[in-house]
């Protein structure tokens, strides 16, 4: 479990294929900030761009660790198949502050940046999310973008056209601290991003469904 508060910016520095076919995943070597691994143990969970992964080897002296990512995870996420800067978050401990919102580290879908520009001292980030996630997105609700807990400022459902399927565009305000201390500052128009919806929204939808069990008890 995570909070969406990024605890460090890392970098994928090496990728090793675990097999010769598309059914095999990769082993990633990640470089972390100095001292980041001091309280990390083998097998601990670390979120990479919002995707929960397991530390399989640790090299604190060189500030590096590895994770094994399956073909399924590679297919359902973005930003973890090539070298580059990524957001890191260690798993939540029972006595930690819940500074963001409850984040599971399971990516629900991939969105795409439609606009990213500075407005005053802050930045406006707009993302087109898959239509299937639209019902979970609400004004002033929470969304996790590449592992970062953010607040939705505007929601607009979008009709599809010949080149693109229907979707939902959200607008988010990023303060300078977020831009400077996460990998979100490197996004641009067209960049893919990992999205995780608010966990509570999942349960609300389930409770509101007219399930066969509910109908049978009426």
What confidence tens digit (pLDDT) does each residue in 124-175 have? 999 999 999 999 999 999 999 999 999 999 999 988 776 778 899 999 999 9
Q: What is the DSSP track for the chain?
A: -B-S---EEEEEEEEEESSSSTT--EEEEEE--TTTTTT--TT-EEEETTEEEEEEEEEGGGTEEEEEE-HHHHHH-SSSSSSEEEEEEEPPPTTS---S--B-S---EEEEEEEEEEETTEEEEEEEEEGGGGGG--TT-EEEETTEEEEEEEEEEE---SSS--EEEEEEEE-HHHHHHSGGGG--TT-EEEEEE-HHHHHHHHHHS--HHHHHT-
Please report the pLDDT score of residue 187 as a whole number.
Answer: 97
Please report the pLDDT score of residue 165 as a whole number.
Answer: 82
Please report the pLDDT score of residue 160 as a whole number.
Answer: 75
Please report the pLDDT score of residue 191 as a whole number.
Answer: 97
Q: Where, residue-wise, is CATH 2.40.30.20 in the chain?
A: 8-90, 109-205
Residues 6+ apart with CB under 8 A from 197: 108, 133, 136, 137, 143, 144
21 — phi, psi (to 5°)? -110, 170
Please report the pLDDT score of residue 75 as a whole number.
Answer: 96
Six-digit token string for 169: 């565009």
Q: Determine the Cα–Cα distance for residues 53 and 105; give it in Å rounded to an integer.
A: 8
Please report the pLDDT score of residue 205 as a whole number.
Answer: 83
Please report the pLDDT score of residue 203 as a whole number.
Answer: 84
Domain 8-90 has CATH 2.40.30.20: yes
Residues 6+ apart with CB under 8 A from 213: none
Please report the pLDDT score of residue 207 as a whole number.
Answer: 85
Please report the pLDDT score of residue 212 as a whole number.
Answer: 60
| Sign of the CA dihedral with 66 first, then 71, 72, and 75 last | positive
Answer whether 0.85 is exceeded by the pTM. yes
pLDDT lower than 50: segments of the chain: none
Give the residue among 190, 180, 196, 189 at the shortest CA–CA distance from 85.
Answer: 180
First to last CA, the chain: 37
Please state the length of the chain.
Answer: 218
Q: Report the CATH architecture of 109-205.
A: Beta Barrel (2.40)
216 — phi, psi (to 5°)? -70, -20
Q: 137 and 42 in contact (C-beta within 8 Å)?
A: no
Please report the pLDDT score of residue 213 as a whole number.
Answer: 54
Six-digit token string for 67: 């994770």
Pairing of strands 64-69, 122-130: unpaired
């Amino acid at each position: 479990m995570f909070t969406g508060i990024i605890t460090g910016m890392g970098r994928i520095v090496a990728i090793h294929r675990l097999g010769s076919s598309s059914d095999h995943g990769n082993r990633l070597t990640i470089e972390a900030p100095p001292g980041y691994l001091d309280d990390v143990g083998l097998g601990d969970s670390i979120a990479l761009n919002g995707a929960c992964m397991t530390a399989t080897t640790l090299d604190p002296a060189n500030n590096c660790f590895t994770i094994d990512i399956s073909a399924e995870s590679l297919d359902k996420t973005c930003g973890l198949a090539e070298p580059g800067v990524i957001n890191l978050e260690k798993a939540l401990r029972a006595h930690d502050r819940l500074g963001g919102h409850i984040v599971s580290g399971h990516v629900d879908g991939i969105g795409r940046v439609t606009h990213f520009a500075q407005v005053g001292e802050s930045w406006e980030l707009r993302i087109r999310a898959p239509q299937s996630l639209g019902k979970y997105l609400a004004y002033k609700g929470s969304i996790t973008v590449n592992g970062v807990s953010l607040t939705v400022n505007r929601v607009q459902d979008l009709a599809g056209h010949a080149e693109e399927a229907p979707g939902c565009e959200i607008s988010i305000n990023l303060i300078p601290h977020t831009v400077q201390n996460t990998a979100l500052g490197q996004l641009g128009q067209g960049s893919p991003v990992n999205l995780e919806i608010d966990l509570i929204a999942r349960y609300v939808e389930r409770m509101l469904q007219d399930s066969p069990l509910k109908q049978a008890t009426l």
